[in-house]
Chains A and B, each alone.
Chain A
Amino acid sequence: MCIAIPVKIIEIKGKLGIGEVGGVKRKVSLLLLDEVKVGDYVLLHAGFAISKVKKEEAEELLEMLASLDV
């Protein structure tokens, strides 16, 4: 149940962001995390950004997953 996925924030309006992963877009509440900028990677859990993820590592991970074609 504690599943969280890294998403890239592509848009922010107030305390609501739009996160994107693999072409899928989701609303992301930013109420639990300050100082999120467009382009940041965050962990998305139950509709909320709960933590920032280091950009290089998130990109590396997503590239690796894409190359697996899963």
Chain B
Amino acid sequence: MADIGRKVILMEVCGTHTMAAFRYGIKDLFPPNLHLLSGPGCPVCVTANDYLDKAIAYARKEGVIVATFGDMVKVPGSSSSLAEEASNGAEIRVVYSSLEALKIAQENREKKVIFLGIGFETTAPTVASSILTAGEDKLSNYFVLSGHKIMPPIMRALAQDHELKIDGFICPGHVSTITGSKIYEFLSRDYGIPCVVAGFEPIDILQSIYLILSQIKSGQAKVENEYDRAVTWEGNLKAQALMAEVFKPESSNWRGIGKIEQSGLKIREKYESFDAEKRYPVSIEKSRENPGCICGDILRGLKTPLDCRLFRKVCHPSHPVGACMVSAEGTCAAYYKYSSA
């Protein structure tokens, strides 16, 4: 680092990396000129309020079961949360897999089961697969509210951000098992940013940082794969094909960041009988977020939770104001748990 002799800003774009970097004290090992920012890599955190408000509107309907990954339950929407709706009698089921949501639909044929499909390329193929299975099983009461997002467009937006000036990306390991490390090639080629796909052990993260710094030192910018025990250049072609069969890219709203073209996944017309928004549209109030919450700037790496006047005062895990405090992988939750400052 001393040889590089300037401030170096790296960003990890995966919530699991955020937590690992804190848990193992990796940030404490850095020299003062090395900075590690947490990016928009937690799907729950980047899900905007309009999506949550729709989920809440479904939960309020008679004869509806909302099935969701657990982290979504406590995230505050514009005026309520799924947890609050559950305490008012709504039927919310926490599932670990979309397959469990399918099972709930099979066992409750008289009800509509709305599965909250959120997550990046790691999770989207699993939900695509559940839609295909529902089709094969002729299940007519299983619907997905798709809030899936993909990484390349948001990483392009971050690379173009003049306020940020990112020198290197630690790329998400499990997204890459599906997409392959090839999806980051444009970042090194077009923006001159070194990219290293990393695993989740402390040694993986340290090794990836070393690889990025070595590239910077030698004036290179390329994609390297530190997580080669699970990730290949091409990725999981079958999962990619299933994802492309069921979903198509569309513009998507990111919490605090706004709309990014082609960064979300919409269910194709061919499968619209499983699309909650098409089959069973709901109207929602005008979405709003707490004006004091700076989740958006935190997700872009421009600020840290320590810059937020709500952090630890009115916003804490038992009373989260923003999504970054709710998710176990959120930057605010990580700071709350591991940072004493």
Interface residues of A (CB under 8 A from B): 1-4, 6, 29, 31-34, 43, 45-48, 50-54, 57-58, 61
Contact = CB atoms under 8 A, between A and B. Distances in A.
12 contacts: A1-B69, A1-B123, A2-B16, A6-B230, A32-B239, A34-B238, A45-B126, A47-B96, A47-B98, A48-B97, A50-B126, A54-B229
Contact of B239 (A47, A50, A54): A50
Contacts of B242: 31-32
Interface residues of B, number: 40
A6 B174 CA distance: 12
Contacts of A29: 97, 99, 126, 129
A2 B329 CA distance: 10
A59 to B, nearest CB: 11
Nearest to B329: A1
B220 interface: no
B97 A47 contact: yes
B230 A43 contact: yes
Contacts of B100: 47
A28 B132 CA distance: 17
A57 to B, nearest CB: 4
B80 interface: no
A1 B43 CA distance: 7
Nearest to B327: A1
Contacts of A31: 129, 132-133, 242
Nearest 8 Cβ contacts at the A-B interface: A47-B97, A51-B177, A57-B229, A2-B174, A2-B122, A32-B239, A48-B126, A54-B229
A32 B125 contact: yes
B238 A32 contact: yes
A1 to B, nearest CB: 5
Nearest to B122: A2
Given A1-B122, A33-B236, A47-B99, 17 more contacts: A1-B15, A1-B118, A2-B123, A29-B99, A31-B129, A31-B133, A33-B238, A43-B230, A46-B97, A46-B98, A46-B119, A47-B100, A48-B125, A50-B126, A50-B178, A50-B236, A57-B229
A4 to B, nearest CB: 5
Interface of B: 14-16, 41-44, 69, 71, 96-100, 118-120, 122-123, 125-126, 129, 132-133, 172-175, 177-178, 201, 229-231, 236, 238-239, 242, 327, 329
A4 B14 CA distance: 13
A47 B172 contact: no
Contacts of B69: 1, 46
Nearest to A50: B177
A38 B96 CA distance: 24
Given A2-B15, A2-B16, A32 B236 contact: yes
Contacts of B97: 29, 46-48
B129 A32 contact: yes
A29 B238 CA distance: 14
Nearest to A6: B230
Contacts of A32: 125-126, 129, 236, 238-239, 242
A43 B96 contact: no
A20 B21 CA distance: 27
